[in-house]
Amino acid sequence: MKLETIKVKLGATRPTARQYESVRADIELEVTLDHHENFDENFSGDWKRIRNKAKVMLLEAMADAEKGVTNG
């Protein structure tokens, strides 16, 4: 099986300081592979890089969402 694109969707919900209020952030990361890349041989290393990038994006989105709630 040959992979051409990978789509990672992540979401998180975190409670805020106010009662009954929470903040939600969702991200979507789509990676398109080069035709010359052989994804099967080094799947573990590539997957770790993709997963870590998605995690950083989610943490940044969550921080922005929390900042909007505390300032708004």
In the three-class reduction of DSSP (H, G, I as helix; E, B as strand; rest coil), residue 21 is classed as coil
Residues in a beta bridge with 22? 15
pLDDT at 32 over 80: yes
pLDDT at 41 over 70: no
Per-residue pLDDT band for 26 (boundaries 50, 70, 90) equals very high
Question: What does the pLDDT read at residue 9?
Answer: 95
Per 3-state DSSP, the chain is made up of helix, strand and coil in percentages (nearest 5) of 40, 30, 30
User: For residue 46, what are the domain limits?
Assistant: 5-71
DSSP H stretches of helix in 6-72: 43-71
Return the residue matching tokens 């080094």.
Answer: 42
Question: What does the pLDDT read at residue 19?
Answer: 84
Q: Structurally, how many domains does the chain consist of?
A: 1
Query: What is the rounded CA–CA span in Å between residue 58 and residue 49?
Result: 14
